[in-house]
Amino acid sequence: MAHPRPRLVLASASPRRRDLLTGAGLAPDAIEPTHIDESEIPGELPGPLALRLAQEKAVAHPGGDDAYVLAADTVVGVGRRILPKTEERGEAERCLRLMSGRSHRVHTGVALKAPDGQLTSRLVETRVKFKPLSEAELAGYLDSMEWQGKAGGYAIQGRAGCFIVNLIGSYTGVVGLPLYETINLLKGAGYPVLEAQALADSE
């Protein structure tokens, strides 16, 4: 008798993470965001913050006997400075001016809680360089509102993709979920990745 396929739960409300998983043939069975205190610890660096938040989100989800819980968090940093997830135009403008003509780093932490409660995680760092932004480009992007709720005030898969001169690392990590590392976490924890992908192809 075949065992039922375990559930894949995405503990994030991000449509970008859902779309990345679905595009990889791993559409989540449920989207159940977990809510935690995302405050920084004094002196915490961007990478460790992203990894800690992803781990805490996975742990905070109740999980279950058949559930693989996947959580992620993305933090943009310029040097040791952590940029916010921008909610106000002025905040987004400050971030974009800071990144204009220079490199910044996008840190995405991914954490997976297996049905037995075991937690595994990865941190992926990507270096992104922006072109110098003109005042017209800056104003146009701010008017687009694409920056709203985005780490560092931009979304690489939108208009801000036109600003990027160079990227070293994981494009999908900048979008919000590094697929290579995510798939390896799932496989390592025993989730039937190839079976799930084959099922998706047959539907």
Mean pLDDT of the chain: 95
- Banded model confidence at residue 31, pLDDT cuts 50, 70, 90: very high
Instruction: Determine the pLDDT at residue 64.
Output: 83
d(CA 141, CA 70): 32
pLDDT digits (tens, 9 = 90+) for 78-123: 999 999 999 999 999 999 999 999 999 999 999 999 999 999 999 9
Helices (H), the chain: 15-23, 46-60, 89-99, 135-144, 171-175, 179-188, 193-202
**Long-range contacts from 62-65, C-beta under 8 angstroms, 24+ separation:** 63/9, 63/113, 63/115, 63/117, 64/7, 64/115, 65/115
The SS3 call for residue 44 is coil
Q: What is the DSSP letter of 40?
A: P
- Percent helix, strand, coil in the chain, to 5, is 35, 25, 40
- Report pLDDT for 110: 98
User: pTM value?
Assistant: 0.93
Q: What is the pLDDT of residue 3?
A: 54
pLDDT single digits (tens) 43-85: 999 999 999 999 999 999 998 889 999 999 999 999 999 999 9
Task: Choose among 91, 101, 108, 110: nearest CA to 154.
Answer: 91
pLDDT band at 1; cut points 50, 70, 90: very low
Note whether 23 and 157 are within 8 A (CB): no
Distance CA 111, CA 37 (A): 17
More reliable by pLDDT, 69 or 35: 69
**Residue of 73, 116, 143, 201 marked active site:** 73
Is 66 considered catalytic here?
Answer: no
Q: What is the percent of the chain with per-residue pLDDT over 70, rounded to a whole number?
A: 98
| DSSP three-state, residue 36 | coil
Give the pLDDT confidence of 5-18 residue by residue, as tens digits.
899 999 999 999 99
